[in-house]
Amino acid sequence: MLTIARLFGKSPFAPLQSHMNKVGNCIEKLTKVIEALSKEELTKIERLVEDLSQLEHEADLTKNDIRNQLPKSLFMPIDRSHFLEILSLQDSIADQAEDAGITLTLRPLDGFDLFAEDFLPFFKKSVEVFWDAKRIIEEIDELLESSFGGIEAEKVKTMVEETAFKEHKAQKQKRQLMKKLFTQGDSLTTPGFYHWLRLIEDIGMLAEVSEKLANRIRMVLELK
């Protein structure tokens, strides 16, 4: 188990950043799963998803360590409840990445060639939203140094707006993909149709929760 000193180091936000790095490992592994999906490497997908589940478990352990060792009396530059909410949102992204991976192990994905042209850009944009949110978490130390104000705060607000715009674009791509699924999915079996539906929802949630995380940082700024 991590000690409170190792968790926090020199920054009260070090635990959030450490946990977010583990969430990033999950997203990187999910990206490899999607690359294997494009090449129809089913055995490799199974192996990668096992790795992804292990990475999600490691993120869970880090989350639990942080929660268990966060004293109620510890001085924090932001409200303790806000800190824990940010941690929970980060962990939800890791959970969602694992869910997407597991979805792809339930059965072979039918009709990939039919939907790949829309699905792959949608996945890429959704993942971009996550990496933007991760960069915002990495900026928290600079926010602390500037007392959550000034040029650094404006920089982060701009980053949040850009993240929200990318999430908006990801949702538009999702709607386009869903429309194609409903209008051109006649060749799919019923399980195949619902398999795609679940996968699209899983990937869409990656972008949605990542944008929510970025916006939560902005709300913290507004409260300072």
Q: How many C-beta neighbours within 10 Å does residue 129 have?
A: 28
Flag whether 134 is in a domain: yes
CATH number, domain of 67, equals 1.20.58.220
- For the chain, give percent helix, strand, coil, nearest 5: 85, 0, 15
Flag whether 6 is in a domain: no
Flag whether 50 is in a domain: yes
Flag whether 4 is in a domain: no
**In which domain, by residue range, is 56 found?**
11-223
Number of domains in the chain: 1
C-alpha to C-alpha distance for 185 and 192, rounded to whole angstroms: 9
Q: Which of 68-72, 110-114, 122-126 has the lowest mean pLDDT?
A: 68-72
Residue 56 corresponds to which tokens in the numbers above? 């999600």
Flag whether 3 is in a domain: no
pLDDT classification of 1: cutoffs 50, 70, 90 = very low
C-alpha to C-alpha distance for 215 and 220, rounded to whole angstroms: 9
pLDDT classification of 210: cutoffs 50, 70, 90 = very high
Categorise residue 111: left if φ over 0, alpha if ψ from -120 to 50, beta otherwise.
Answer: left
C-alpha to C-alpha distance for 30 and 91, rounded to whole angstroms: 15
User: Which single residue is written with the structure tokens 């079996």?
Assistant: 189
Flag whether 1 is in a domain: no
pLDDT at 34: 97
Indicate if the pLDDT at residue 8 is higher than 60.
no
